[in-house]
Amino acid sequence: MRKYAKDYELERKEDEKGRIKKTTKYIGDYFEVRVELHDLIKFRRIAFLLLLIVVGMHISAGFVGNQGMFQFYIALPYVFVFLPLYFFAAGILRLPKEKRAFRRDEVDLSFSRAKKASVSMIVLLGVVLVGGLVFLIGFAEGDYNLEILFLTCEALAAAGVTSFWYFQKSISILKLTDKDKLSNGLY
């Protein structure tokens, strides 16, 4: 990715047959996740469980045959949730399993991506819930059970994303200084 191009340097080495081999060397900043290893593994498990809950509840809400899904102010935000949901899942699946110094791209494509996607999902799920409530209060006719089931599924999905966002606040990621790099053997 071009965003991380300045963090790498192209090295040219000559092998024993005289051919030039090109390799990349990381020259960018390193980052440390300030949490114990068992807490990092616990966070990864909780995040994966919350991902399953969010995906399950959001997709289940789509299968509810409610009249509110025929309204654009509910259906469009519902569909738009799938884009940050993809990035949310991609970030969670890339969370590290071990504790070490991480490159910028490793941190950005896991922790930062999941955090940004979770904020977007909270907003979009909030719009879906508000739209569902507006429809339920003002325009719903007949049986309200399906509308309430839809809103319950979306509320559980929103609660899962909010829980992830809350748990991720406890994890701090700090840029390593030159002294820290020497102690970790990165120079």
SS3 (DSSP) at 42: helix
User: Which residue from 121, 24, 22 is spatially nearest to 80, judged by alpha carbons?
Assistant: 121
Asked whether 132 and 147 are in contact (CB, 8 A), the reply is yes
- Residue 184 scores a pLDDT above 70: no
* CATH code for the structural domain at 37-172: 1.20.120
**Domain residues of the chain, as ranges?**
37-172
DSSP 79-126: HHTHHHHHHHHHHHHT--SS-SEEEHHHHIIIIIHHHHHHHHHHHHHH
CA distances from 55 to 61, 78, 113, 154, 160 (A): 10, 12, 17, 10, 10
Above 80 in pLDDT, residue 179? no
Q: What is the pLDDT of residue 3?
A: 83
Among candidate residues 165, 130, 120, the one with its CA nearest the CA of residue 151: 130
Q: pLDDT digits over 63-113, tens only?
A: 998 998 999 999 999 999 999 999 999 999 999 999 888 999 999 999 999
Do 57 and 65 contact (CB within 8 A), yes or no? Answer: no
Burial 67-83, CB ≥16 within 10 A → b, else e: bbbeeeebeebbebbee
| Coil, strand or helix at 14 | strand
Checking if the pLDDT of 186 tops 70, the result is: no
Are the CB atoms for 7 and 175 separated by under 8 Å? Answer: no
pTM value is: 0.85
